[in-house]
Structure formats: C-alpha cells, structure tokens
Amino acid sequence: MSDILESPRPAAGGAALAGGFAQPVVDAQFVFRSVMEAFSRPGRSIALPTRVAPPPPLTAEAGAIALALFDQDTPIWCDAPLAGDPALRNWLAFHTGAPVASGPDQAAFALISACDRMPSLSGFAQGTAEYPDRSTTLIMMVDTLMSRDIVRLEGPGIEETETIAPAPLPVNFRDQVRANHALFPRGVDILFASPGKIAALPRSTRIRANASREG
C-alpha cells in the first residue's frame, strides 16, 4: 500500500521538524481515506498503520490524522496534557500551521489525550441550525477500541448494528453521545485513535438502547 509503512522520516534538525509524513502527498491521502472509511462506517475499526512520530503524549495515529487534516484554516484545541507541552505545540505548529483556538467552542479540531478527564462534548462547537458543519471534530486518543464496555450503534453507515468499545472514557460518555445525537444535525463528530486503529462516532450515529451495561 503506502510507503508510510517503510520509510519513517529521518530526524532532521530539531525535534519539531522530525516525525512528519515521509511522503506528504501520498501519506496524507492514505490517512484521509482511512478516516473517510471510518466516518462512512461508524464504529468499525479501521487499520491506520503509520510511522508518524510526534512528541508524546500525542500518539502516532492522532499525529497522522493531524497532519492529514489540520492547516492554517483550522483552529485547534488541545486538552491540558497536550497544551502544556511546548515541544508538542511546536511540532503541530511546524507541520500543520494550525492556529490555537481561543476555546473549545471555537475549534475546528480538538486533540484529547486524557479522555477520562475530558470536558463535556457540549463544550465544543456544535455548529448552527443553518450551518451544522461549523462544529468541532474531536480526535480522542484511547488505549483500545476493544474494552469490555461495548456500545451498540446504529444509523447511517451501519448495515444492521455495529459495536464499539473504546477506553478510557468519561463515566457519562454514553449520555453525552446520546445528547450529542439528539442535537442532530448540530453536534460534534468523534474520531477515536488507538494504537494501529481508528474508529469514528459521527453525530448521525445512535446508541442502541439494549447496549451491554457492564463496566
């Protein structure tokens, strides 16, 4: 498939310059198609092999998504662990040029590393009734997509039913997702980035009532 697999970018100059796409045009296209596939089939785990190497705690997958989608036109919001890291800020600024949003409700994208402590979904840009697209897309870095806390999903992109089980998450996350869907067509879209895999939870997706309840 893509050369992302073979050729990590050699570290050149300072840390801010290293760890980007080896082949920006091809790699960005490859990552975008994976994200598009994830959005088209909510809940489904989509492989995202990447050798992008951002400074931690930003993960390779979230870093690759950032490089593919962020630029000067997309104000971004980072949660506290990310925002407090100057190396990370420099890396994002150098590779994407994205400005820092004045608040979560002004962000085109949000990068979230500590998902269990994340702010409420309702605090991000929800779009307007006339322009529901003017909303935040959240990139949530989770440890896994296959925890024991399984959520059943249905809606556009899902043939019968799909499951998703990301972790960690805030305690009332299901209720937040339900509330987010209730706002449709307003609301935020979520992209989970886990090691090697991504999955999406766009605002159009409904949580099924009979979801398992453990955890």
CA–CA distance, 112 with 138 (Å, rounded to integer): 7
Strands 162-164 vs 76-78: parallel, antiparallel or unpaired:
unpaired
92 CB-near residues (< 8 Å, 6+ apart): 54, 58, 66, 70, 76, 78, 98
Rounded CA-CA distance 48/43 in Å is 15
By CB under 8 A, is residue 79 in contact with another protein?
Answer: no
State the minimum distance, in angstroms, from the CB of residue 4 to another protein. 12
**CB of 69 or CB of 167, closer to another protein:** 69
Query: What's the CA gap between 16 and 59, in Å, rounded?
Result: 15
Beta-strand (E) ranges in 48-204?
76-78, 109-112, 137-141, 151-154, 162-164, 189-194, 197-201
214 binds another protein (CB under 8 A): no
- Asked if residue 34 binds another protein (CB under 8 A), the reply is no
Per-residue contact flags (x/-) with another protein for residues 7 to 26, judged by CB under 8 A: -----------------xxx
Strand-by-strand arrangement of the 151-154 sheet? 162-164, 151-154, 206-207
Q: Does 212 bind another protein (CB under 8 A)?
A: no
Kind plus residue range of the DSSP H or E element containing 206: strand 206-207
Site for another protein, residues 94 to 123, rule: CB under 8 A: 108
Which of 15, 32, 81, 144 is close enough to bind another protein by CB under 8 A? 32
Look at residues 141, 75, 66 and name the one whose alpha carbon lies nearest to residue 108: 75
Binding mask 169-188 for another protein (x = CB under 8 A): ---------------xx---
Sign of the Cα pseudo-torsion (89, 93, 95, 101, in order): positive
Residue 39 in the binding site for another protein (CB under 8 A): yes
Using rule CB under 8 A, residue 63 touches another protein:
no
Position 159 contacts another protein (CB under 8 A): yes
6 counts as binding another protein under rule CB under 8 A? no
Assess 75 for contact with another protein (CB under 8 A).
Answer: no
- In DSSP terms, which residues pair with 112 in a beta bridge? 140
Q: Answer yes or no whether residue 68 interacts with another protein by CB under 8 A.
A: yes
Decide: is 133 part of the binding site for another protein (CB under 8 A): yes
Q: Which residues contact another protein by CB under 8 A?
A: 1-2, 24-26, 28-30, 32-33, 35-36, 39-41, 68-74, 108, 128-133, 135, 137, 155-159, 184-185, 189, 202-204
